[in-house]
Structure 1
Amino acid sequence: MQQNSEEGRRSSSALQAPSPREREEGEDIAIIGGGIIGICAATLLSEAGRSVTVFDRTGICEETSSGNAAALAFTDVLPLAHKGMVKQLPKWLADPLGPLTIPPAYLPKLLPWLIRFWRAGAPKHYQASLATQAGMMRLAEAEWMGLLDRSGTRPMLHEDGSLELYESEAEFRASLSGWAARERFGIGFRHVEGEEIAALQPGLAPRFVKGTFVPGWKTVADPKLLGKAVWAYAEKLGARFEHARVERIEADAKGATIVLADGTRRTAKKLLIAAGAWSHLLARNLGDRIPLETERGYNTTLPVSAFDVKRQLIFSGHGFVITPLETGVRVGGAVELGGIDRPPNFARSKAMLEKAKRFLPGLDPSGGREWMGYRPSLPDSLPVIGAARAPNVFYAFGHGHLGLTQAAATGRLIRDLILGQTPPLDLIPFRAQRF
């Protein structure tokens, strides 16, 4: 666990234990996971008039959802397996502090996932994966804009676009097929160079020969603050939070049972598992074996005064971004496929910060706060959204880099499933049983 914030424990609802009557009768809908996926699902279900209780071991938006790169990346429709990662793997793996690393001792355990990832990148899967992601992103944008308005959090949205940067003509040309794919789905962008790059981000090092500006790219003021603000709206609608570690779950035709670490049990008519990188461990209790891995992401958040960053800067060749937040300048990204038990390797954060200093020569690297989080990732880059093998249990996890981006869409899909309504997307590509 990378965080254990007392702030989350002191949340206004965190210490509200269920009344004796509620314990006897059970919950209407229980959600395991207080990250952005669980928060959005709870909010949309509460808007529909359902009684919802969220269980989490630390608090609302206190773990991985608190420290991400803050992007609402609705234009990021290319599945990870199709972004050239397979071709880049040998070069990246040769650098222990590069964009992607695998601790050697973890490689045998990871190998089955890597094989699935490699297969997912095959050309025969490309169009279907692209169309699925594009549909999910259209829904995500519509649902987020509506939820931001209803929750009063629209002022936390930044619509400054993004600037992806290339250090050579060869790197730029390698990106063109991906931009052509985005163009087919109506995603706007323009390639820039020279003075246009300088105008979009003053102070960049001259090493960047080309760039691509995406006006539709959005970020949020701070992902942790946004999650807590959306949750405050859900609380006003009646949603509740219980600070508890879940050890085991059971389910039958009557409902679901949650067994907590202290031995107490909670029952619910419906249960949603949205516990991020730990979700697949709970799914095993129900007979669903889901090949989830953790992309451990690192960042350093510098003071706001570190540099005047105008919009999110994307250094795809190096696997990291720089994001201007209201609470600081966040330098982070990269991937470490290393599971949930290994201690953090903050040398990775320092390596990205060193690169950031070269890319933005005026950057002040002092006063930073390092962080590591677990991105729950599936080999085909699509989350699991849908019904479990067991009755009355639903899954919403495995969003990889796109948890914040796709959270409101996932909440909508889960709400429709639990209410017995027809969801706006075909959920077959997201089913847990596809593996």
Structure 2
Amino acid sequence: MSKTVAIIGAGIVGVSTAIWLLRDGHKVILIDKAGPAAGTSYGNGGVLASCSCVPVTGPGLIRKAPKMAMDPNQPLFLKWGYLPKLAPWLWKYLSHANEADTRRIASAVVNIVGDSLADHQALAAGTGADAFIKPSDYLFIYNDRAHFDADALGWDIRRGHGFTWEELEGDAFRAYDNVFAPELGMAIKLANHGRISDPGAYVKALAAHAGSQGARFVKAAVEDVRIENGAVTGVIAEGATIACDACVVATGVWSGPLAKKLGVKVPLESERGYHLELWNPSFMPRSPVMVASGKFVATPMEGRLRLAGVVEFGGLEAAPSKAPLDLLRKNAKAAFPGLTWDREEEWMGHRPAPADSIPVIGEVPGASGAYMGFGHHHIGLTGGPKTGRLLAQMIADKKPNIDVGVYSPARYISNN
């Protein structure tokens, strides 16, 4: 039976959901206060990072975090005046910094991101947006083998989920790509990954395709969801009701207030992310890379090299900080000796971070037709197409081929 579905949020999750619903014969209304790809879907690192299932909250983070936050050379920044408001979320977040929870979270996340390249290719097929998808390797770059061995738990978890890789040291690394500083002596090369050559244009192209297939666009802020007799009948946007049979809350870090109105109290914070784009660089790495020493990603894109990966906690209201961008610039110069560029573009955006590091995906108990899809931290682009497909299957009353219970909003209803 065809349904009319209002999707709140036109980032990668919302647009992916729209396309899969349209292919299944449903009617779609995409509602966004700023238009497609106006937020994090524009500014992400651009890597289809299938192997990025290991959460930041690994063992030892509780001990390391205070030192990192006070060291300007570490990729973690904190606006100290925000700490009192952050503290309840931070306490829950750090409570997962142990091996058992790290493995549990990774097992949940890998089902969303583990086939990212294929998921994006399936989503973009026939849309024109597939031109932005570039299959590639993905490299993790370390100073030496001892540096790599310090990440043993993460790699053990990846191995357990079927990831394989090639270890390149010395001459073998230089033969693959010789643009890196000599002190970076080892690379882990994972095949079957990919990159998006222009994330903002990619999501806008997907949205345009959705429009060509009949999706209706509304530029407005949604204030509430109308529930009658336990079921969704519409959403309220700027005072007007838009009738629908189902709705999806997919507004990233701004999903919290709507979720709360639906009875779902998600401990959600902004993982403020920065990128620095170096336009017309004198050279680029062969593949997207994660430089482990600086915890930053460098991704070749159309006409520029995008650097991303710094994390700052400071809420939604504070202006961008200078220090994270300075660190990205400093780390890039250290990793890529001799690199020059014509101009720079800076960006700061808000990545949605639930305290348990697992996305919120699924139907709200007690509110038939109300669905949620948000909370992917820094891997929203990677996991967007799979999330959209799962939501489309749930809305159509089809059973997904994975256990989706771990993502359910139900986990935030009781004991809150």
**Deviations, residues 386-418 of structure 1 (Å, cap 9, x unaligned):** 112433210000011111111111111101111
Counting aligned pairs with the same residue, the percent is: 32
* Alpha-carbon contact 1:252-1:391 (below 8 Å) kept: no
- Corresponding residue number in structure 2 for 1:374: 350
Pair 256,199 (structure 1): closer, same or farther in 2 beyond 3 Å:
farther
Hey, what does 1:11 align to over in structure 2? none
What does residue 58 of structure 2 align with? Answer: 82
Q: Give the drift of 1:32.
A: 0.7
Q: Which residue of 1 aligns with 2:71?
A: 95
What's 2:381 paired with?
A: 404
Q: Give distance in 2, aligned partners of 1:131 and 1:354.
A: 35
1:29-83 Cα offsets, whole Å, 9 max, x none, are: 1011011110000110011111101111111112110011101111222123237
* Aligned equivalents of 2:118, 2:185: Cα separation in 1: 35
**Alignment-derived partner of residue 383 in structure 1:** 359
Q: Which amino acid aligns with 1:115?
A: W
Aligned to 1:7: none
| Structure 1 Cα separation of the partners of residues 370 and 282 of structure 2 | 46
- Say whether 1:47 aligns with 2:23: yes
What SS class does the counterpart of residue 231 from structure 1 fall into?
A: helix
Tell me which amino acid in the other structure corresponds to 1:31: I
* 1:207 counterpart letter in structure 2: E
CA RMSD between the two structures? 2.0
Superposed displacement of residue 427, structure 1: 1.4
Letter in 1 for 2:66: P
**Map of 1:190 onto structure 2:** 166
Please give the secondary structure, in 1, of the residue aligned with 2:321: coil
Q: Deviations over 1:126-155 (max 9, x none)?
A: 433232222223454443231232424333
Stretch moving more, 27-36 or 293-302 = 27-36
Query: 2:395 is matched with which residue?
Result: 418
**Contact between 1:252 and 1:392, CA under 8 Å: does it hold in 2?**
no
Q: Which residue is 1:430 aligned to?
A: 407
Structure 1, 208-217 or 48-57: larger mean CA deviation: 208-217
Instruction: Give the Cα separation in 1 of the matches to 2:116 and 2:335.
Output: 32
What is aligned with 2:313? Answer: 337
Deviation at residue 96 of structure 1 after TM alignment: 4.1
Q: 2:372 aligns with which of 395, 398, 402?
A: 395
SS of the residue aligned with 2:151?
helix
Rounded Cα–Cα distance in structure 1 between residues aligned with 2:388 and 2:216? 17
Q: What is residue 133 of structure 1 aligned with on the other side?
A: 109
Checking the alignment, whether the CA contact within 8 Å between 1:304 and 1:326 is kept in structure 2 is no
Q: Is the 8 A contact 1:221 1:327 kept in 2?
A: no
Q: Secondary structure, in 3 states, of the residue corresponding to 2:179? A: coil
Using the TM superposition, give the Cα deviation of residue 123 of structure 1 relative to its aligned residue in structure 2, in angstroms.
Answer: 2.9
Instruction: Point out the more displaced range, 369-378 or 380-389.
Output: 380-389
Q: Give the letter aligned to residue 224 of structure 1.
A: G
| Bigger share in strand | 2
Taking structure 2 as the reference length, what is the TM-score of the superposition?
Answer: 0.92
Which of 188, 193, 201 is the aligned partner of 1:212? 188
TM-score by structure 1 length? 0.88
1:260 pairs with one of 213, 237, 241: 237
Q: Is the contact made by 2:360 and 2:374 (CA closer than 8 Å) also made in structure 1? A: yes
List runs of 5+ in structure 1 lacking aligned partners.
Answer: 1-26
Q: Is the 8 A contact 1:192 1:213 kept in 2?
A: yes
- Cα deviations across residues 284-333 of structure 1 (Å, max 9, x unaligned)? 11221111111111111111334222111212232211110014110121
- Correspondence 1:279 to 2:255: yes
Matched to 2:82, the amino acid is Y
Q: Which of 231, 235, 250 is the equivalent residue of 2:211? A: 235
Unaligned runs of 5+ in 2: none
Deviations 1:233-287 (A, max 9, x none): 21222112111122333323352433323x3232221111000110011111122
Residue identity opposite 1:414 in structure 2: L
3-state secondary structure, aligned to 1:305: coil
Deviation at 1:231, TM superposition (A): 1.5
Matched ranges for 1:62-81 at <5 A? 62-81=38-57
Distance 2:90 2:371 in 1: 26
Matched, 1:318 2:294: yes
Aligned residue-pair number? 408
1:252–1:87 distance in 2 versus 1, CA, 3 Å: farther
Separation of aligned partners in 1, 2:14 and 2:305: 27
Contact (CA 8 Å) 1:416, 1:423: kept in 2 or not?
A: yes
Q: Flag the 1:118–1:276 CA change in 2: closer, same or farther, 3 A.
A: same
Shift of 1:169: 4.3
